[in-house]
Amino acid sequence: MQYVKPTSLLTKNESHRLEKLRDYHILDTHSEDTFDKIALMVTQVFSCPSAFISFIDEDRIFIKSNLSPLAFNEAKREESLSSLVILQDDVVVFNDTHTIPHVRENPYVSGENGVRFFAAVPLKTPEGYNVGTISVIDTHPREVTPLQINMLKMLAKIVVDKLENRLRYRKTIESQIDLMNITLHEIKNPLASIKLANEIISKDGTKIPNMAEMIKSSVGRIKSKLSDLLKQSELEENQIVLFIEEIDLKELFMRLQSNFDLLAARKGQSIIFDLPESTSQFFADKAKISDILHNLLSNAIKYSYHGAEIKVIATEINGHIRIEVKDNGQGLDESDIERLFTKFAKLSSKPTGKETSNGLGLSITKSFVELHNGTIEAVSPGKDQGTSFIVTLPLRYEKEHSLSEFSS
């Protein structure tokens, strides 16, 4: 079949292809023995002097392995023959480049000792994106055998497998770090409660029974979080398990009140819980729902002024439970809302009582809400006009354990 000049060097899925390429973190890295050995095998299979493992970026070619006299590791995309290869689904072979008009015009072909023989196969990801090539060249025309072609395809799969293994390992590490960050974030509130209870006991011994119960509850919450971390670390990467059970929302609100009354009172704040009698039970992961409300209420206390009023309002709408955490604090501007649920987001609002913030809470909260097929949104009229965080969750969720992806 005669080779036809393509009308464009861009692939049909160019943006997704580039996204996957960047996920590999392979661009602009040093040469590695593993890839160089694969390139060496290509030269031996074809009995050719030069072979390359290349990755096609937006407007350039990055050469990861360069077994040739050429002393560079980058080329313009429009000048590279590899740019033609990623447009194909199979091996591209030019037995003699001078017999193909538009290829003959290529600067690497037309120059002195230019490329006369060229064979390459795309590096195809599991999603079907061609992110690069393995290629072999010679300055003399050549013929290829089916065995050589099959070997080239096999070596290309080995390269992609290597990239995928590295990607999975990196994501596993990132997932473990995320889990540790979540756990560290989640034990901050019970630690603050323990610290505050200790201060009260040291000043007023009559409060020991009440404070002892609070300390016991906070320690239990910390132990639970550490246990969750150990369990999640045993799961496959990026997965969190939901333990679905019937939740009594009234009981959950009472626990929230018990946990946060002291922290709010320290800033002269009041927390009002509004729960209609008709809204009492729904099915979800109790620990995760508790985490969601802990994060939202903790933020409301943290970013509201002294003497502020905070409301937690639950209503039932069209088979869903809607929980609103509303404060009359610092509010949010449009820029804040745009980056509100991203990891380590830095917002214009600042804690009003010298509390610390690592920018993880809302990102974690959003992940837990979405695991329940729910939604979360923030509404604010503007700066210093308060904020409402609204969580909407289905009343019923599958009762058996379910695995879902976790994203930051």
Name every residue whose Cβ is closer than 8 Å to that of residue 237 and which is 6 or more positions away in sequence.
168, 171, 172, 175
**Sequence ranges of the domains in the chain:** 14-168, 187-234, 236-405
Q: Which CATH code fits 14-168? A: 3.30.450.40
DSSP H or E run through 165: helix 146-186
Q: Identical fold at 14-168 and 236-405?
A: no
**% of the chain surpassing 90 pLDDT:** 40
Phi, psi for 320 (deg, rounded to 5): -130, 155
Average pLDDT, the chain: 83
pLDDT at 368: 85
In this structure, what token pair is assigned to residue 83?
A: 């740019």
| Residues 159-200: tens digit of each pLDDT | 999 999 888 877 766 666 666 666 666 677 777 777 777 777
Cβ atoms of 315 and 282 within 8 Å: the answer is: no
Distance of alpha carbon 95 from alpha carbon 79, whole angstroms: 19
Cα dist. 287→225, 270, 328, 398, 406 in Å? 9, 25, 28, 16, 16
Cβ atoms of 131 and 125 within 8 Å: the answer is: yes
Taking the model in full, what pTM does it have?
A: 0.51
Q: Give me the residue label for tokens 């939202």.
A: 296
User: 26-36 burial, b for 16+ CB within 10 Å, e for fewer?
Assistant: beeeeeeeebb
Q: Does the domain formed by 236-405 have CATH 3.90.1150.10?
A: no
| Residues 94-148: tens digit of each pLDDT | 999 999 888 888 888 888 888 999 999 999 999 899 999 999 999 999 999 999 9
pLDDT at 46: 95
